[in-house]
């Protein structure tokens, strides 16, 4: 274990102990060659039902697919577990000397019970003027296969119609979304995406290029 990771694990243990067993602390190693097992340390993994050696989240893929200079820590956003619990999450980028992202340090605090109380209070104090759309929380996945399925589902939601009704432009939009999200960093993702959208691998690559040209 290098000195930086050792320090991060010390902090992770301290944070988890301070906030209790509702607070999950996760460290992803982005220097590893095998991103499909990016979690190198985790405290209170029961919060998201993840464990040491599990795969990357959407945030990890986005990080790998973007210029490190453009990345800023993401604090206090919502995520969702497989069983529907809502987490308040923060993601911090730990950089190396050259500015690249070496590690991702993530906090996930289970606020499901607090939201139940909050909703009860809101029903009493809210008025017609207090309206607005809540942002949908991101789903926390356990492995790259689940993550790819989630990203494909999001790409279909973005287009707003089933694959059977999609035009060529619709599929280009969906595939470019997947490309921007880092989906094609996942091993053999091209095969699965091609099969899902009913296109060849050659067409997939051409759609990726077409999406880039339209920007």
Q: Which domains does the chain have, with CATH numbers?
A: 3-114 (3.30.450.20), 143-213 (no CATH)
- For residue 3, give both structure tokens: 């000195």
Q: What is the pLDDT along the chain (215 residues), one digit of tens a residue?
A: 789 999 999 999 999 999 999 999 999 999 887 888 999 999 999 999 999 999 888 888 888 888 888 899 999 999 988 888 899 999 999 999 888 999 999 999 999 888 878 777 776 666 555 444 445 677 777 788 888 999 999 999 899 888 888 899 999 999 999 999 889 988 889 999 999 999 999 999 999 888 565 55
d(CA 4, CA 128): 51
pTM of the model: 0.71
12 Cβ contact list (under 8 Å, min separation 6)? 25, 27, 41, 43, 105
State phi, psi for 102 to the nearest 5 degrees. -85, -40
- For residue 80, give both structure tokens: 């969702």
């Amino acid at each position: 274990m290098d000195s930086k990771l050792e320090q991060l694990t010390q902090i992770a243990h301290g944070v988890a102990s301070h906030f209790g067993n509702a607070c999950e602390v996760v460290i992803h190693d982005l220097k590893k060659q095998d991103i499909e097992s990016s979690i190198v340390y985790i405290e209170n993994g029961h919060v998201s039902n993840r464990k040491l050696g599990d795969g990357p989240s959407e945030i990890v893929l986005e990080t790998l697919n973007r210029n490190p200079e453009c990345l800023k820590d993401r604090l206090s956003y919502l995520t969702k577990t497989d069983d529907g619990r809502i987490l308040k999450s923060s993601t911090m980028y730990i950089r190396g000397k050259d500015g690249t992202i070496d590690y991702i340090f993530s906090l996930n605090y289970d606020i499901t019970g607090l939201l139940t109380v909050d909703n009860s209070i809101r029903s009493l104090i809210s008025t017609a003027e207090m309206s607005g759309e809540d942002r949908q929380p991101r789903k926390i996945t356990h492995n790259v296969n689940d993550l790819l399925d989630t990203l494909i589902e999001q790409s279909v939601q973005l287009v707003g119609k089933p694959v059977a009704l999609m035009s060529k432009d619709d599929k280009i939009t969906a595939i470019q979304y997947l490309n921007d999200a880092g989906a094609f960093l996942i091993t053999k993702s091209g095969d699965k995406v091609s099969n899902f959208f009913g296109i060849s691998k050659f067409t997939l690559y051409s759609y990726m290029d077409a999406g880039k040209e339209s920007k």
